[in-house]
Amino acid sequence: MLNGIENTVVKTHGLDELGIAREAPTHWNPPAPVLYEHAVRRGEGLIAEGGPLAVDTGVHTGRSPHDKFLVDEPCSRDRIWWGEYNQPMSEAAFDRIWERQRAYLADKELFVQDCYGGADPRFRLPVRIVTQYAWHSLFVRDLLIRESDEAALRDFRPEFTIVDTPDFEADPATDGTPSGTFILINLARKLVLIGGTEYAGEIKKSVFSILNYLLPLRGVLGMHCSANYGEDRDDVALFFGLSGTGKTTLSTSPDRTLIGDDEHGWGDDGVFNFEGGCYAKAIRVREETEPEIFATTRRFGTILENVVIDPKTRRLDLDSAALTENTRAGYPITHLPRADTRGVAGHPRQIFFLTYDAFGVLPPIAKLTAEQAMFHYLAGYTSKVAGTETGVTEPQLVFSPCFGGPFLPLRPREYAELLGRKIDRHEVRCWLVNTGINGGPYGIGKRIAMPVTRSLIQAALSGELDDVPARTDDSFHISRLASCPGLAAEVLDPRASWSDPEAYDRKAAELAARFRENHDRTRQA
């Protein structure tokens, strides 16, 4: 017992196998109520009205991509797509940090969760996550796939281990890191080290990166997408997109069943969720427009990151961006009324590439041929939404290959070729959906209303758009629809929505040039 909180099962295979000496308690796979008690006892968060745990991630309110490194070692060296997203670190530098981090852990109270990445038992990855914070352990328990069998937990052998210590930092002068923050992936040692950041999203994205390295070797495509299905598990739709483009919102639909909201695999038998929970943007979530997600912000077990809370009344202010625009709700998928807890389904019938176009140039929906789909998959165009990464305060144009460049250890064309074969084999219909600006560029135009986007998605899913005439636009590699049932022409045609059509033409030419420049770079990658 510790302060009235009972410790949990002693493990057969413990932290001694990692060389971590223990002089303080280690809590193995504690459930949510116990983690709540620890988090409150340690001053990590407050219990808000309705039951969620509200936490503040401090300086880091988003990912720190410039602090992520892959260890340059012989086993994986020739396969890695080295560059902006995969910076190399020497084995010696990794070992120096790990030696100091191990020593740091010796007298720290630790929390361990043994989980899986991947709902399909044939491809799931056993992962052990060792955290310094109780709420990070709850985050992992919410977001990954739990092992509920006690005997299996006692004998759990991780294939990868993630060690997360927000209060331990690297030394840039000796370690060669840009800052004290570090996210280090060692594929040979099957070990991930995270430090100097309280942002829990680094943990889940590390698991995603590992799966994106391992699974293509087995013919499984890792995808940065949400997924749902209609009347049966064979009516699957995928929603690709970077954070802030609407993956979670659009896939969480009252008339469809959610498979997962962020990361999936696509194998020979269909798609499967990599996770067991959801990580939704919480800023300005409305009960009227996003009732399912709104309800999770009032549930026990949900973690609210950087959501403003009144310390006296414990009431939430979901509209406030006082801490960051990137407020988040992390919750188990079981918090949603229509979610498939098995996390597996058939092959997709429809793929939607979501983009937040801050230029205000792209239509709210466009058809894509298979060739056009490959162009947009490799481009991964969007405008990075404020707060998603440290230092981003307003939308910035970005091309992120496969709609997930930061999480791709391999070269983009390896993923694209795998996706292309699957699209051809299963005759998947593809669409580009702009969830960004209409009526002018950012600062003048307005964001396309979510009900409009939902109606367009529904029209595509129901087949209403299949026979609508479309005009090929070679500048943007899309097929523009001539009409859409129930939608005004000026909404479907972005040029007509601008007060100055010539200004639209100039902005469109500017964006088209950026597409061409990116395409030339991508061909060389």
Is there a catalytic annotation at residue 179? Answer: no
Closest CA to 74 of 175, 186, 210: 186
Of 64, 226, 243, 297, catalytic: 243
Is there a catalytic annotation at residue 11? Answer: no
Of 328, 367, 376, 477, catalytic: 328
Map 181-224 to HEC letters: CEEEEECCCCEEEEECCCCCHHHHHHHHHHHHHHHHHHCCEEEC
Of 63, 146, 264, 429, catalytic: 63
What is the C-alpha separation between 491 and 483, in angstroms, rounded?
Answer: 10
Is there a catalytic annotation at residue 205? Answer: yes
- Residue 282 in tokens: 């919480």
- Residue 20 in tokens: 């971590």
What is the C-alpha separation between 467 and 25, in angstroms, rounded?
Answer: 64
Is there a catalytic annotation at residue 248? Answer: yes
- CA atoms lying within 13 Å on the CB side of residue 68: 21
Of 124, 146, 247, 367, catalytic: 247
Is there a catalytic annotation at residue 63? Answer: yes
Beta-sheet strands, E only, within 118-267: 125-131, 145-146, 160-165, 182-186, 191-195, 221-223, 225-229, 236-240, 257-260, 264-267
Of 27, 136, 189, 205, catalytic: 205
Closest CA to 468 of 490, 492, 433: 492
Of 224, 347, 376, 477, catalytic: 224
DSSP state of 5: B
What is the C-alpha separation between 59 and 196, in angstroms, rounded?
Answer: 10
Q: How far is CA 469 from CA 61, 179, 367, 434, 480, in A?
A: 45, 53, 10, 19, 8
Of 137, 177, 248, 257, catalytic: 248
User: Would you say 285 and 299 are in contact if contact means Cβ atoms under 8 Å apart?
Assistant: no
What is the distance in angstroms between the CA of the first residue and the CA of the last residue of the chain?
55
Is there a catalytic annotation at residue 262? Answer: yes
Of 261, 262, 340, 357, catalytic: 262
- As annotated, the active-site residues are 63, 205, 224, 243, 247-248, 262, 328
